[in-house]
Amino acid sequence: MPPNTRTSSISAATQRTVLLLSFATFSSMVAQRICDAMLPELARSFDVGLAQAAAVVSMFAVVYGVAQLVYGPLGDRLGKFRIVAWATLACGVGSVLAALAGSLNALVLARMATGLGAAAVIPLALAWIGDNVPFDELQETIARVGLGTTLGIGVGQLVGGMLTQTLGWRWAFVFLAALFGVVGTLLLLDWRRQRAAPQAPGPDLAAPAPAARASFFAQTLPIVTGPWSRVVLLIAFAEGAAGFGVLAMWASHLQRGIGMSASGSGAVVAVFGLGGMLYMATARRLIARLGQHGLSQAGGGLMGLCALVVAFSPVWPPIVPASLLAGFGFFMFHNTMQANATQMAPGARGTAVSLFSAFLFMGQSAGALLAASLIAWIGSRTVVTLGGVMMIVLGLWFGAALRRRQRAALEP
């Protein structure tokens, strides 16, 4: 179908809202990744071990994951976009508290507050898109919103490393507070515009459907007990541990393993996000050519192989293209996971996508904590290697599961 035909089915107002949601997911991902390159400096500043400093990453992810159990049903009841707007502004408050933190415990608490707000952004943005975008354009639209997410990974790593080395780690959180303030204000203005347009309210602004008014357990039980939903949720947990969790240790590996600076390691790992952006730019062709099972297998395999290059390269130049291709491969896999998450329970989409995010970020928390602890025991090279091998296995496993599901759907 020609590009102009595809985009004409989505109204200009919806396209504008999708763009703002992309800004919000960008901000949320910057918040998630901004501490990665500063972990060694935080360990030095507060005179603690790397595993203790990693709590600013892991506890953010813990709160992020647990909060999904609240935000999913809340979004289905009160309106997904409204919650995203207010949660984004709340993240700015948490970032101000992080910039003012006088101890590691205070910083961890501030990060937990930021994680509590950020937890609403990406899953409810995806759920809003699932409610307002036709199915045949869904994965492509998610890929476009994912451009903000992938850019956020790179900017978070880069800004965190550069500001930590130049002005100090506190200024990274000042930057984050300003970013959330601007984006949250734009979202709030757009929400008010939506409320002032009753002639085209959209599913998210209409009165809740009966399914959306069901109890939390009534909405959740069919999701967690469904055979396919269980597959998606379990793989999401493993993806969070092997992908996002171990990724948090890449900058520390480059600093400890080959002596790179905080800004240098942050810049190299930031290329991971550029690889994700490259995938988003080519997503339409790849989705049509490879299908979901092909994207899963090729994406997981590509990230895993590139992680091995990062682990074993004695110098930094090969790590730059490896990080680029790793990001490309990871988001081939992750975009496929997101598309499947939005379809687990169309009648309670906010709850379903939030459960997906809960499993993903609980996996990230477990992965970051385990990786930081294992570095002191088996070394960062082995930790990065294990994460890469696990991504290869996940890509093959989920790709095979998708192929079986597709075949079963075609059987009479």
* Neighbour-count burial for 332-352, b at 16+ CB within 10 Å, e otherwise: bbbbbbbbbbbbbbeebbbbb
pLDDT at 144: 72
Q: Is residue 272 part of a domain?
A: yes
d(CA 349, CA 231): 17
d(CA 94, CA 181): 11
Q: Is residue 203 part of a domain?
A: no
pLDDT at 38: 85
Q: Is residue 338 part of a domain?
A: yes
pLDDT at 350: 67
Q: Is residue 364 part of a domain?
A: yes
d(CA 344, CA 339): 9
Query: How many domains are there within the chain?
Result: 1
d(CA 320, CA 57): 24
d(CA 403, CA 218): 30
- Residues of the chain where predicted confidence (pLDDT) is lower than 50: 1-8, 199-212
Q: Is residue 2 part of a domain?
A: no
SS3 196: coil
pLDDT at 204: 44
Q: Is residue 4 part of a domain?
A: no
Tokens 């307002």 -> residue: 132
pLDDT at 134: 65
Q: Is residue 159 part of a domain?
A: yes
d(CA 75, CA 212): 9
Which residues of 17-136 form beta strands (DSSP E)? none
CA-wise closest residue to 350 among 175, 164, 122, 188:
122
CATH of the domain at 135: 1.20.1250.20
Q: Is residue 267 part of a domain?
A: yes
Domain of residue 135 covers 11-196+208-410
Tokens 């597709």 -> residue: 406
pTM above 0.95, yes or no: no
Which residues of 257-385 form beta strands (DSSP E)? none
